Structure 1
């Protein structure tokens, strides 16, 4: 049951790139997340039972009367979190793009960004896990679901580890899985701290500049600050070639070459034909780029470095081992 608290003052359009979240890095967003964290911490205790009241990312207060027995997740990141929390049996439906864990692919599909409202209602869920990143285009559909008497929880859009912990905690509170969330977050924090300790061994003069290639030409995109990739590079003491800019940034191939990166990381290998490294090596004007000269062109799974969830620490570790194998490789 939702009780409206604050009006949504404005809705901003965001650029959607396959496999990525928006990653806007604004002080206002951080302040709002910190405020929401404070509210949730004050209202949460180890022995909390249902009903629970949660301030979600739509600026609404969601009251969940009983522990959900049937849950639908309409975005892959929420699905990953729900499975990690041990909610496989409760998951009644997922989006068409849910691909992890493998068991998610076997669940009933409810559509992609344009989810099927009638299908969702027919599955008789107690709770629908929505997401702030798609709130603008899904607002009408979510309203129809609420009018059918189904609780809708809009999970925050995360662009950092801390915001991901918030997402995990929010879903856990709504589903009665707080103990599992505590264990997951503790493990992630341990992994992040271990990477930070290892990275401290890297002297400043050995710091590498990295070009993160999110999408290849003709519509070349990279990632700036306010994104998971940027925070991961910073964590492992690497320099983001586009770190002075924010969000997802279009580049010309000429301007990309000027960044003169020592390492190139691509995140789209599973969605294009051919070998990204070979394609980069064959680009006009790229032969003298240090990363190309030294053969330091690597691919990582986009979901590991852009999808908010328990595998983010694994993504940061993979980046670390590729960029600084002498420091991080086992």
Structure 2
């Protein structure tokens, strides 16, 4: 046989065998996307695994809805609660027939959920614990997003990105938020830290604020302030008004809506509360309202909250 043809035949055989090996090992290698769907650990420390990317997602918490749309997974959302109002007016979508409502945040309509037969449900913790248990008992895949820190919020964004197949979008969002938060922290690093009171609910005889375990406490710290009740190792802390007066905050932050809405008629009304006129915050006119949704929803607007707080605490730097 001609040596030239022998060499050519050997080369062809080698190429065929190599191609066969490549095809075989590619078939054996796990799909990177499907691999990310395995062992999804949520804030309940509950592990969920999916066999495919979800095509129908229900969000039963506003913070979850915000994350889904922030990572461009909104096209997979088939239902939200009546309280989900960002980044769109979903009530208008529902009225137009382009979205379904599951109703109330605390008691979503199980019949609606069942009829939609979702591939994945996103929920928050706390008051939704019983709902989550019921949904899981019925066989639904549920991820609980109930972070207690900024890093926890970023983890949840990554988790939802993995679950939906929007990993690149989630990574880009995480990088953007991290960069913005770091920029604030660097700007205020050497500034004096004002003492801050953050209001959750107010009544003359019984009022609520945040302790050191609330993730809003971390927002205050990253914005260059100190929570006056950070010695209380609890998330939400009930205090007597005398305690606030004694701790004498330099800055008072009040949600523009939320639990305390009925008591917060105006900043002038806050200044007129018994004894509050003795605080530095009132005397220096350093009372600020903030959109409660950006500071109470543990979602992608966390950097907005930190930036606004930093402007309240250090207006000379921003």
Instruction: Give the 4+ runs in structure 1 shifted more than 6 A.
Output: none
- Superposition map of 1:63-212 within 5 A: 63-105=49-91, 106=93, 107-111=99-103, 112-146=105-139, 150-155=140-145, 157-202=146-191, 206-212=192-198
Rounded to whole Å, the distance in 1 between the matches of 2:256 and 2:216 is 14
Give the match for residue 242 of structure 2.
254
1:224 aligns with 2:214: no
Rounded to whole Å, the distance in 2 between the matches of 1:269 and 1:208 is 24
Rounded to whole Å, the distance in 2 between the matches of 1:192 and 1:159 is 17
Give the match for residue 286 of structure 2.
296
Give the match for residue 19 of structure 2.
none
Give the match for residue 4 of structure 1.
none
Give the match for residue 298 of structure 2.
308
Q: Residue 222 of structure 1 aligns to a residue in which SS?
A: strand
Q: Render the CA deviation track for 1:279-326: whole Å, top value 9, x for unaligned.
A: 211111111211111111111112212211110011000011012100
Rounded to whole Å, the distance in 1 between the matches of 2:207 and 2:222 is 25
1:242 aligns with 2:235: no
Residue pair 2:48, 2:141 contacting (<8 A) in 1 also: yes
Among 199, 202, 221, the residue aligned to 1:213: 199
Residue pair 2:106, 2:128 contacting (<8 A) in 1 also: no
Rounded to whole Å, the distance in 2 between the matches of 1:228 and 1:46 is 36
Residue pair 2:37, 2:53 contacting (<8 A) in 1 also: no
Q: Residues 92 and 176 from structure 1, CA distance in 2 versus in 1: closer, same or farther, beyond 3 angstroms?
A: same
Rounded to whole Å, the distance in 2 between the matches of 1:50 and 1:119 is 31
Following TM superposition, by how much is the alpha carbon of 1:145 offset from its aligned partner in structure 2, in angstroms? 3.8
Rounded to whole Å, the distance in 1 between the matches of 2:228 and 2:202 is 16
For normalisation by structure 1, the TM-score amounts to 0.78
Q: Render the CA deviation track for 1:69-115: whole Å, top value 9, x for unaligned.
A: 11101111111100101122211101221121124443321122111
Q: Residues 289 and 59 from structure 1, CA distance in 2 versus in 1: closer, same or farther, beyond 3 angstroms?
A: closer
Q: Residues 130 and 199 from structure 1, CA distance in 2 versus in 1: closer, same or farther, beyond 3 angstroms?
A: same
Q: Residues 172 and 290 from structure 1, CA distance in 2 versus in 1: closer, same or farther, beyond 3 angstroms?
A: same
Q: Residue 49 of structure 1 aligns to a residue in which SS?
A: helix
For normalisation by structure 2, the TM-score amounts to 0.81
Rounded to whole Å, the distance in 2 between the matches of 1:51 and 1:191 is 27
Q: Residue 252 of structure 2 aligns to a residue in which SS?
A: strand
Rounded to whole Å, the distance in 2 between the matches of 1:98 and 1:196 is 30
Among 32, 37, 43, the residue aligned to 1:52: 37
Residue pair 1:80, 1:100 contacting (<8 A) in 2 also: yes
User: Greater relative contact order: 1 or 2 (C-alpha under 8 angstroms, separation 6 or more)?
Assistant: 1
Larger Rg: 2
Q: Render the CA deviation track for 1:254-286: whole Å, top value 9, x for unaligned.
A: 221111111111114463366341121111111
Q: Residues 128 and 316 from structure 1, CA distance in 2 versus in 1: closer, same or farther, beyond 3 angstroms?
A: same
Following TM superposition, by how much is the alpha carbon of 1:194 offset from its aligned partner in structure 2, in angstroms? 0.2
Give the match for residue 32 of structure 1.
none
Rounded to whole Å, the distance in 1 between the matches of 2:304 and 2:79 is 26
Rounded to whole Å, the distance in 2 between the matches of 1:152 and 1:119 is 16
Following TM superposition, by how much is the alpha carbon of 1:134 offset from its aligned partner in structure 2, in angstroms? 3.9
Rounded to whole Å, the distance in 2 between the matches of 1:255 and 1:262 is 14
- The alignment of Structure 1 onto Structure 2 pairs a total of residues equal to 277
Residue pair 2:69, 2:87 contacting (<8 A) in 1 also: yes
The RMSD of aligned alpha carbons is 2.1
- Superposition map of 1:2-41 within 5 A: none
Q: Residues 46 and 325 from structure 1, CA distance in 2 versus in 1: closer, same or farther, beyond 3 angstroms?
A: farther
